[in-house]
Amino acid sequence: MKDELILRGHAFRSRFILGSGKYSLELIRAAVESGGAEMITLALRRVNEGGAANILDHIPEGVTLLPNTSGARNADEAVRIARLARECGCGDFVKIEIMRDSKYLLPDNQETVRATDILAGEGFIVMPYMYPDLNVARDLVNAGAASIMPLAAPIGTNKGLATREFIKILIDEIDLPIIVDAGIGRPSQACEAMELGAAAVMANTAIATAGDVPAMAGAFRQAIEAGRAAYLAGLGRVRDTAAASSPLTGFLRDEGED
């Protein structure tokens, strides 16, 4: 059976989205290939017309670009960045990031909804980064989002699923792919997110700051695949009291006994 991530009709076998913001360019290709990522984020300010410093020279062919609006402080700036990315040939995918807060880097949910509404109306495949709030997620659905990308913890902290219970609410209530983004620091945390029912996980800092970048990307790949397989299999029940794995009575009785 195919188990693909579907985003506005585009199918992806991998459920690992790689962020590219903190890598040396030489390590990006290795991270993509070891992680099996089919989508990679791209900050527009890192794109140029060519030469050794062009990030596009280091991304393998066939990988879908996900330009982000990093640096935008409001919806108007995010829309401008998205349009520039499309004109640069980066395609129709866009990750909306709008942050007025420079200390905690928390997303501005209201401006994110406004930018999503504008860009979805222009044919973009909009993947908004947001603080997990059910009412905002519903507004993003109505605005035309292709997925919802709630933060797990403040961006760059590697603190893991700090917003676990709120993400679970979104998974249960929103009929769009929920892609856990920001704050995932370990493969085990990525696995847990997938076990919850997340459609995918995006990671950047945890991999870029690892001692062995390609090896960590591979570890995230395996963890995400394991978490997805566990979710599809159906996790075993949780009990408050102990229960023997094998029955202690009755298993030696003959079938004919009363």
pLDDT at 48: 44
Q: Looking at the domain assignment, is residue 249 inside a domain?
A: no
Q: Looking at the domain assignment, is residue 238 inside a domain?
A: no
- Whether 52 shows a pLDDT value over 70: the answer reads no
What percent of the chain clears pLDDT 70, i.e. is strictly above it? Answer: 86
Strands 10-12 and 5-7: what pairing?
antiparallel
> Tens digit of pLDDT for each residue in 219-256?
999 999 999 999 999 987 777 677 666 665 555 555 55
**3-class DSSP state for residue 29?**
helix
DSSP 8-class letter at 105: -
Answer whether 150's CB lies under 8 Å from 174's CB.
no
Range of the domain at 143: 5-233
Q: Looking at the domain assignment, is residue 35 inside a domain?
A: yes
Could you give phi then psi for residue 245, rounded to 5 degrees? -65, -30
Could you give phi then psi for residue 255, rounded to 5 degrees? -60, -25
Q: Looking at the domain assignment, is residue 10 inside a domain?
A: yes
Answer whether 228's CB lies under 8 Å from 2's CB.
no
Q: Looking at the domain assignment, is residue 46 inside a domain?
A: yes
16-18, strands of its sheet edge to edge: 149-150, 125-130, 93-96, 64-68, 39-43, 16-18, 200-203, 179-181
pLDDT at 105: 87
Domain count, the chain: 1
Q: Could you say which of 2, 95, 159, 168 is catalytic?
A: 95
The CATH number covering residue 18 comes to 3.20.20.70
Q: Looking at the domain assignment, is residue 244 inside a domain?
A: no
Measured distance CA(118)–CA(81) in Å, rounded = 13
pTM of the entire structure? 0.86
Q: Is 95 a catalytic residue?
A: yes
pLDDT at 258: 53
Q: Looking at the domain assignment, is residue 151 inside a domain?
A: yes
Mean pLDDT of 162-187: 95
